[in-house]
Copies of this chain bind each other. A is one copy, B any other.
Amino acid sequence: MPARGDHEARRRDVSEAVWRVLAARGFGGLTLRAVATEMDASTGLLTHYFPSKKALIAHALDLADERTATRPLRDAPAPGLPALRAALLDVLPLTPDAAAMNRVWVGSWDVALADPDLAARQRDRYGSWRGRLRPHVAAAVARGELPASSDVDDVVASAAAFAHGLVVHALFDPARFPADRQTAMLDDFLASLTPAVRPE
Q: Is the interface of A mostly helix, strand, loop or mixed?
A: helix
User: Bound complex: CA of A123 vs CA of B195, how far in Å?
Assistant: 33
Tell me whether A14 is interfacial, beta carbon within 8 Å: no
Interface centre among A26, A109, A165, A169 (most CB of B within 10 A): A165
Q: Are B184 and A149 in contact (CB under 8 A)?
A: no
Tell me whether A37 is interfacial, beta carbon within 8 Å: no
Of the candidate stretches A44-52, A71-79, A112-120, the one touching chain B is: A112-120
Kindly identify, within residues 126 to 151 of chain A, every residue whose CB is under 8 Å from any CB belonging to chain B: 126-127, 147, 149, 151
Q: Are A110 and B107 in contact (CB under 8 A)?
A: yes
Tell me whether A154 is interfacial, beta carbon within 8 Å: yes
Closest chain B residue to A107, Cβ basis = B110
Of the candidate stretches A2-10, A61-69, A170-178, the one touching chain B is: A170-178
User: Bound complex: CA of A119 vs CA of B26, how far in Å?
Assistant: 12
User: Bound complex: CA of A113 vs CA of B169, how far in Å?
Assistant: 11
Q: Are B185 and A113 in contact (CB under 8 A)?
A: no
CB within 8 Å of B: which residues of A? 24-29, 103, 106-114, 119, 122-123, 126-127, 147, 149, 151, 154, 157-158, 160-169, 171-173, 176-177, 181, 184-185, 188-189, 192-193, 195-196, 198-200
